[in-house]
Amino acid sequence: MNQGSLADVDTEAAMRSDAPRAPASYVNYFELGQNPFEFLIDLGQYYPSGNEGVGAIGIHTRLVLTPPYAKMLSELLARSVQEHERENGSIAQIGQDSSPFDIVLSSLGDFEERARALRAPRPPSDSAPGDDAGRKSPSSNDR
């Protein structure tokens, strides 16, 4: 029996699958570790407090990858960052002297403003392209 390989997977069919997707989690904190057999990546969120430089860290996910998959992830991430910078401009570098709260704030940009704009109720338009507004729908009286 042929077990198949990763290359044999029909990625388009897999993406169209009706299987439930894993929940998305926000990550602004991570730790990396490695040994001869695996790479460990702990993902979490930094929660700042009112005191400068003080906060809490909550780790919610641990990834464990073999070295070949860690290298593949590294290459894919580097390629994705290059593409992002080509399309959106340079990503700000996080400095050694930055507090975690400053790092989070610098990564947000105008995120909150854009998020509020997207959540704001939109006034109804008269008619949108392809909209049937203004057209009379057929009814039993029209027959």
Output the domain CATH number for residue 64.
2.30.31
In a domain, 63, yes or no: yes
In a domain, 48, yes or no: yes
Which pLDDT belongs to residue 99?
63
Q: What is the mean pLDDT of the chain?
A: 74
Picking from 81, 42, 87, 83, the residue whose alpha carbon sits closest to that of residue 65 is 42
Picking from 23, 55, 27, the residue whose alpha carbon sits closest to that of residue 41 is 27
Residue 101 pLDDT class (50, 70, 90 cuts): low
Which pLDDT belongs to residue 15?
61
Q: What's the maximum distance between 2 C-alpha atoms anywhere in the chain?
A: 78
What is the DSSP secondary structure assignment for residue 27, as one 8-state letter? -
**pTM value > 0.75:** no
Instruction: For tokens 């997707």, name the residue.
Output: 21
Domain count, the chain: 1
**Domain, as residue range, for 66:** 24-86
Which pLDDT belongs to residue 91?
83
Percent of the chain with pLDDT over 70: 56
